[in-house]
Each structure stands twice: as structure tokens, then as C-alpha cells.
């Protein structure tokens, strides 16, 4: 793909649709203003909600339209930089397209300018953990690398420091990939961890969601690498769309690729097996994290890391905040924060990560997911669940069918104390909602921090 001539940004009228609070809109505004573009930032949120983001752009001569969108900002723009969460059928997007505006995203701007090869990771669950494992591995090499996409901040401001010898690793969401499809771009190394229904409130159907995820492979070339997980049907079924070289990952297969033998992650080639990592040294629990580690090893190998670096990197990886994060223990009851579990499948993985009885806090914002499969899969390990949020009613109906006890609470604090009342020595209490957080919290991090405060307060004053 040809790199966009950044000189063309000079004096362009560019509308940034969605400033947000997570770095993408801020990064795009800084980058484009620095190139001499005339920037309008428009967001449905008001000035008070976006005050921190706006303060970071002070002095750049940006025009703001907040609390609303104005149609003229889309009819008269040369380019519209869209927040990936904005659906393509948005009235404003249709108008901009009709009037000849270039439609782009922050991650698309970065990819157009990036001089380095890119490794992209997607999946319904486990993306951030896998990317962070790759980061840990690359830290054990002498390579210069950059981590971005849906994790961390914008990389646009780092472009002047990048070279073709560097490595870029991107976590890519379905929203980002849907828009990247318009660029007909896929990364040099692409991994699909898994695929289960998610974000159906945005994509309308599982087929459209799957299609968006599939863009990570759709435009690969013959020399590119596609890494798929044989254990997961959703990932496995993408094999028919692979255009580059396929590398399999799996816990129990006889194909060439990355697999497990006698507790070791190994790389199986035609005439040899190379030992990579003894999984006894993996700190994060659960089969899902084992597969994340195997995928990270496969990606790292394809972007130049040797077996020693993979082993050292995975050994030093201690997990991420809000992903099965151990918070504390009291009277033999252990507490884990898994607030990043925003899909039913991630909750299943969390419960199955433990070989003991689990009392979870479930529920949150409704993304259109079904909960029957989750209820069935966790029934044997969960004697009782605490339910919160918009989806509490839906989850309760699913749990009833499995004979699993539950109580619906009006707040996370009430749910937490309800769990304590039912937990016994040896049990696990885990916040693993299986849903997004937006009905009750700012984001999943806010939800997780509140839970951790509740745990630590209880441990200090169990009263």
C-alpha cells in the first residue's frame, strides 16, 4: 500500500468526528494540526466531559463543535476522521461521502504513514493480553518496537522516530477493522485469537461482525503470515480465507505450527520440534491464557524473536490490570478483578480458569449478546451469582434454566457484599461481568477500580 503524501494535509479542511477520552481523536488532531490542516473537532459529548482532552490540544487553533454535530462540517470537509465506533450508515458519514470527503480513522492515518512492518492481533477476547505478551517478549530482544491500536495511545506522534527496521504491533478491534476494509489493507502478520458474537448492537448481525474481523486477513499478500487458533471454531473457520502463509496454533493437534507437548510450548516443523517455553512458568491462569501465550509466541517468532526471547518474555509476564487480576485474600476467599471480561465467552474462560467454586458478579450494558451458553458452561462451578446492570434480567433467565442460584442487586457494592455473604473458605469471588460497563460506569477500568477498592476495604475492615 502506498503511503499518503502528508504534505497534502496542509490547509485541508478536516473534521474529526469524535474526540473521545482514549487518545485516538487527540492523536489525530495533534498530528493533522501539525501538518497545517484546518481542524474542526465535533463530538456529541459536551465541553465539561471532554475538558481533559481539550486541554491537551490547547494552542493548536482547533475549532470545536461540542454537544452536537453540524451538517456543514461534513458537507464542506476535505477529509473526515471518524471515530471507529461511528457506524458507516451514520447520516453524517453518508453526507460526507456524497460530497466527496476522504473518510479516514486515526489508525488508518497511522497505517498510511507507517514505514515499519505491522503485526495485527484481533479476536473477540484476549487481544490486550496477547499484545502485552508480545510486548514482553520484544522487550527481551534488541529490536525497536511500537505498541498501539486499541491498546495504549495514538502512535501518530511517534512516526518521525520510526524506521523500516522497527516492528509495530497493533491490537485491532472490529470497529477499526471495519473501517480499515475501506483501505483494502491487512497487516504483514495477522492473528485471529477467537470469534464469538460481540458488539451486535453495533454490527447488527454476527455475519457483519465476522466480516469486519475478517478484514485482518482479506488483503494479505502471498508472503504474509496468518496465525489462527485450531482450538477455536471461529478462528479455525477463517482458514479458507487465508491468502498468505498459514501458521496454526493449538493445544492438541498434529499439524505444523505452535502446539503443546509435555507441558512445553513447542514449534513443530517438518523434521524437527523446537522447545520454546515451559508453561509451568506462565503466571496467568486458565487455558485461554495458555492459548494467548501460544499465539504471542507464534507472532513473536514471525516478527523475528528467537526462542530464548519468547521464553524470557512469557516468564516475566505477570498479567494486566482488570484481566483476572488477583486483588487479595481473606479467610481463605480469594478475590479477582476481571472487569475487562465484556463478553459471555470471557466470563466462561474466567470461571474455568479455577479448579474450585466460583461466585461471580455478572451483568452490565446490553450489547445484544445471548447468555444461555455462558449459563450452561459455568453451571458446574458456580453455586450462586450476583447480578447487576441492564442485563441482569436476561442473565437471570439463563441461570434459571441451569438451576444456578442468583440475586439481582442495584449496585456493585451490594453485589460484592452479597458474594461475601455466600462465599466459603476456598471459594473464588470474581468480578467477571460478561458485559460492557456503560450502563453504570464510565468504562471497564472505572468498574474494576471500584471493585478493587471494595475488596481492599473489606480485607482491611472485615467487620
- List the CATH number of the domain containing 356: 3.90.190.20
Please check whether residues 119 and 246 belong to one and the same domain: yes
Please check whether residues 424 and 306 belong to one and the same domain: no
3 lies in some domain: no
Q: Residue 184: its pLDDT value, please?
A: 95
Please check whether residues 295 and 417 belong to one and the same domain: no
- Angle formed by the axes of helices 287-302 and 344-352, nearest 10°: 110
Domain that holds residue 64: 9-104
1 lies in some domain: no
Please count the structural domains in the chain: 3
| pTM given for the model | 0.85
Q: Residue 269: its pLDDT value, please?
A: 84
Please check whether residues 83 and 113 belong to one and the same domain: no
Q: Which of 55, 77, 104 is the last residue of a domain?
A: 104
Q: Residue 200: its pLDDT value, please?
A: 63
Please check whether residues 247 and 132 belong to one and the same domain: yes
Please check whether residues 148 and 280 belong to one and the same domain: yes
pLDDT digits (tens, 9 = 90+) for 348-379: 999 999 999 999 999 999 988 899 999 999 99
Q: Which of 316, 334, 352 is the last residue of a domain?
A: 316
38 lies in some domain: yes
Q: Residue 1: its pLDDT value, please?
A: 36
| φ, ψ for residue 138, nearest 5 deg | -65, -25
How far apart, in whole angstroms, are the C-alpha atoms of residue 106 and residue 27? 7
66 lies in some domain: yes
Q: Residue 205: its pLDDT value, please?
A: 87
Please check whether residues 79 and 99 belong to one and the same domain: yes
Low-confidence ranges of the chain (pLDDT < 50): 1-4
Q: Which of 104, 120, 144 is the last residue of a domain?
A: 104
Q: Residue 271: its pLDDT value, please?
A: 81
Please check whether residues 99 and 114 belong to one and the same domain: no
Amino acid at each position: 500500500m502506498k503511503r499518503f503524501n502528508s504534505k497534502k494535509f496542509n490547509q485541508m479542511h478536516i473534521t474529526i468526528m469524535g474526540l473521545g477520552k482514549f487518545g485516538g481523536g487527540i492523536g489525530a488532531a495533534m498530528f493533522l494540526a501539525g501538518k497545517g490542516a484546518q481542524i474542526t473537532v465535533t463530538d456529541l459529548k459536551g465541553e465539561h466531559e471532554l475538558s481533559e482532552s481539550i486541554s491537551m490540544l490547547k494552542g493548536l487553533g482547533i475549532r470545536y463543535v461540542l454537544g452536537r454535530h453540524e451538517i456543514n462540517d461534513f458537507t464542506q470537509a476535505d477529509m473526515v476522521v471518524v471515530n471507529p465506533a461511528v457506524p458507516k450508515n451514520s447520516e453524517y458519514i453518508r453526507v460526507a461521502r456524497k460530497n466527496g470527503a476522504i473518510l479516514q480513522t486515526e489508525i488508518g492515518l497511522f497505517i498510511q504513514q507507517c514505514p515499519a512492518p505491522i503485526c495485527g492481533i484481533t479476536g473477540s477476547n484476549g487481544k490486550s493480553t496477547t499484545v502485552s505478551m508480545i510486548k514482553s517478549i520484544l522487550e527481551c530482544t534488541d529490536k525497536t518496537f511500537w505498541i498501539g491500536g486499541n491498546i495504549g495511545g495514538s502512535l501518530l506522534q511517534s512516526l518521525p522516530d520510526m524506521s523500516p527496521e522497527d516492528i509495530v504491533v497493533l491490537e485491532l478491534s472490529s470497529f477499526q477493522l471495519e473501517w480499515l476494509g475501506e483501505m483494502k489493507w491487512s497487516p504483514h502478520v495477522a492473528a485471529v485469537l477467537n470469534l464469538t458474537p460481540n458488539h451486535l448492537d453495533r454490527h447488527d448481525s454476527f455475519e457483519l461482525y465476522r466480516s469486519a474481523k475478517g478484514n485482518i486477513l482479506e488483503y494479505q499478500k502471498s508472503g504474509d503470515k496468518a496465525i489462527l487458533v485450531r482450538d477455536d471454531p471461529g478462528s479455525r473457520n477463517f482458514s479458507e480465507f487465508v491468502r498468505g502463509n498459514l501458521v496454526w496454533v493449538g493445544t492438541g493437534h498434529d499439524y505444523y505450527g505452535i502446539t503443546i507437548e509435555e507441558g512445553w510450548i513447542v514449534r513443530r516443523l517438518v523434521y524437527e520440534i523446537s522447545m520454546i517455553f515451559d508453561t509451568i512458568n506462565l503466571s496467568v491462569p486458565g487455558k485461554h491464557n495458555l492459548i494467548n501465550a501460544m499465539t504471542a509466541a507464534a507472532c513473536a517468532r514471525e516478527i523475528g524473536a528467537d526462542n530464548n526471547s519468547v521464553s524470557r518474555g512469557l516468564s516475566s509476564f505477570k498479567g494486566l490490570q482488570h484481566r483476572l487480576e488477583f486483588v487479595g485474600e481473606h479467610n481463605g476467599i480469594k478475590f479477582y478483578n476481571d472487569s475487562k471480561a465484556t463478553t459471555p465467552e470471557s466470563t466462561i474462560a474466567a470461571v474455568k480458569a479455577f479448579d474450585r467454586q466460583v461466585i461471580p458478579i455478572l451483568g452490565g450494558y446490553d450489547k445484544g449478546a445471548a447468555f444461555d451458553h455462558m449459563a450452561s458452561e459455568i453451571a458446574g462451578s458456580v453455586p450462586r451469582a450476583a447480578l447487576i446492570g441492564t442485563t441482569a434480567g436476561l442473565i437471570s433467565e439463563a441461570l434459571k434454566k441451569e438451576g444456578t442460584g442468583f440475586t439481582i442487586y442495584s449496585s456493585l457494592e451490594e453485589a460484592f457484599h452479597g458474594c461475601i455473604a455466600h462465599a466459603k473458605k476456598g471459594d473464588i469471588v470474581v468480578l467477571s461481568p460478561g458485559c460492557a460497563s456503560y450502563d453504570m460506569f464510565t468504562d471497564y477500568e472505572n468498574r474494576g477500580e471500584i471493585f478493587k477498592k471494595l475488596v481492599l476495604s473489606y480485607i482491611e475492615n472485615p467487620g
